[in-house]
Structure 1
């Protein structure tokens, strides 16, 4: 089998899903330290969420990767999170993979990694990740099996999936009823996004405490609360906030510092009364090995669609397990995570997340979306990864080459 064509298909339609998808107004951002760039973050370039339609309502435009072969089998992965990924797919990955045998996943993954040594993180690595997932999709379709079968087979039918509130405003009338609904439906816990950071100082800590007090009072006492800092805090701010909210039985503080500052993570891991998580912006087993050797986190959160693909994620999971730490996967493509969760050790990978607004948008065009059922995620029982497009949802599309 040979790869004969690689292209990106841009899908367009009116959008009827959740309208709050990725609102930066309710999330602290790393650029908040500069007055001219308050509330201006990487989230503003997310390419999967709906935007206003000039004709009224919302429209959604998403890119999907297609890898065609000479046997009529096509690998499909999407949606693509950032526009830069599409660029690298068409200007780097395509030239590397054309004419190659897609069944040689380990070989092609290493070739793509070695060619891109000048950029082992960011949109190039994300492009490699998407291409690698497409190769898995082709291999599954060739062999006639769901992805989890090629990852070793099921160790569990469904895996716990907690509620991520990204995109929901910090409005009690909106946020609290949603949290109550989903935890009562089986979600094991919730993740709340920080709206404040060091710039807001103690006033921000006070307001964060007020929000978390209301959340704790709203949900059942056996449900956990995690807090997402979006890489925007520092050691001092995190320690002060942690002491203020420790009584609320917070499960973990997520990405409290910029991802390259692993020494700061290690200090927090040592000193903070609340568990520390990180890793969603980190790539490769080698970076995670460095983090583990520094004892930087209690919980590690690789993203399969950003950090190297399925092969790399499985390596990271095994590595984290060898250090007796936990993996809570970050979630861009729910079907990919569902397959990985089904085939991995529950003691090492206890749960993943579901982003209420973002993942609804990211699965808008999918034929087989994965959504929480009684607080669990189940892989789609279809051949392949499960990112094939429901053509009835597509109003029009174009090929990007």
Structure 2
């Protein structure tokens, strides 16, 4: 007799396969159905640092100086000089009093939510905040009130109804690529005596071309930044007041019971920030590539959203059609994200094209040319 869990697993995988929603891993360097990838427009390495020689050398130096592994949790003996240097660097550029490090942005977000809140709290969040935030809030038991995406009036109605609480948003939204009105939200939160928490994963390191943080402690109470996007490496941090960080260090089970971020990776993230500060041409080149892509797409009659960031979605709507277009691009050597429900709402399946500073004008021209050929006469929904 088959075990009930085996039956449940088989049934769910079969259903996902039949509906075209089965998620599967693919070997790095291969596209859909293992087509070779010549042009990668699918990842979040916005400044092209993940493969830079400078950071490879920094990782080597960090491993030699501080060791490969942390060997213990931060509260035992896993917190060292490399971690402290990175935390101090992050505080210096954002203005926050204190910082704590995590191995991923997902763990930082979910840990923050389920440690800070409980069933007595009301949390107001943008309707499109990341799954890590939602999962953490569900675990916390807090009451979640969601306002219409990037809608100031909707946010204010909820703040007026639930003052003295917390509002959460992303800086740059991971699937739509649009930016939150941080200054307006900050003013609202001050008006209603509420904290503002910002997941700055996709904005940190790329929004300001001068190497400083575009979002600082003057605007937000708690800021989550990740190192796997613009910094090209691994890990994340929560930045806040000293009291908040002290509370999290003492009570966050994930932080207390997990091995600390590798000191080599902490030093690597430190080196990545310094490299960005010394290389303002990288964010500038990224912005130039965004402008070029949007200009060429407009000239080709391709419908784009209003995003002005590296994330450029093309809303197709239908799951099957989205996969078909992505597969056709893969056959030509172009890898792009094909995003379907439940990651995005039903009916808003899309190509998620991400640009980086290392893409050439020729590569962007060739991508737009292929997109235009594939999208002509297709029943694409307007965004």
Q: TM-score, normalised by structure 1?
A: 0.34
Larger of the two Rg values belongs to structure? 2
